[in-house]
Amino acid sequence: MAQKISLDDWQQQLGRRESNTDSTIPSNTSLVYSTQSGSVAKNKPAEQAGTAYPDGAVRLRREKKGRGGKTVLTISGIAKPATELAEICAGLKKKCACGGSVKDGIIEIQADKRQLIEQHLSQLGFNVKWAGG
């Protein structure tokens, strides 16, 4: 039975590759994976917190464009850390019985229940404005 060897060892035996496991990969490359050193992807950046508008109001916007015809409500202008935005999003999803997520400091709810969401955010102490259609 044949002995099992690694790909590096096999290529080195064939003379196709020099043994360079300590090679350095330039940091300015868009390389995601390399057989020389494994995964070189950088760590994900920290989740972004929401930013407030100058008037302090929270904007409710209904969007359909770029979402395959599905209606999504985006809630922006909540100046809270990402963890608190996730908690607010979870409460809204339970209240509306629908899905949703937090992306780049904006809460996305997968339903067109503006009045219900406006009531819930008002109970949490936010000044809510409807923006767009």
**What does the pLDDT read at residue 122?**
92
Read out DSSP for 67-126? TTT--EEEEE-----HHHHHHHHHHHHHHHTS-EEEETTEEEESS--HHHHHHHHHHTT-
pLDDT in tens, 85-123: 999 999 999 999 999 999 888 999 998 888 999 999 999
pTM of the model: 0.61
Q: For the chain, which domains are there?
A: 7-39 (no CATH), 58-131 (3.30.780.10)
pLDDT reading at 17 higher than 80? no
Which residues is 100 bridged to in the sheet?
109
